[in-house]
Structure 1
């Protein structure tokens, strides 16, 4: 294998990983969890500020 082939394989692996992460992030199974996590910064903790 030459460097061009290795570069092509690395590109395909990176693209597949990216598509997998996007699919995971936008899947309906995770929507409820991400909605709840998105509201965490606005949650009222009743802790004194330091």
Structure 2
């Protein structure tokens, strides 16, 4: 019985994490993170350039 509860809890956590990752509100943050390996100077340098 305990293993069934733990399995159900882990399934709920997995589905919740999946929904959180694929939510449209997070798209801009994940797009920015995906570009970090290609960016020579990093995010902090971009903030300094804009100021």
Question: By the TM > 0.5 criterion, same fold?
Answer: yes
TM-score, with normalisation over the residues of structure 1?
Answer: 0.78
The structure in which a higher percent of residues are helix is: 2
Consecutive unaligned residues of structure 2, counting only runs of 5 or more, are 42-51
Structure 1 runs of 4+ aligned residues shifted over 3 Å read none
Larger Rg: 1
Count, aligned residues: 41
Cα RMSD of the aligned pairs, angstroms, is 0.6
Consecutive unaligned residues of structure 1, counting only runs of 5 or more, are 46-50
TM-score, with normalisation over the residues of structure 2?
Answer: 0.77
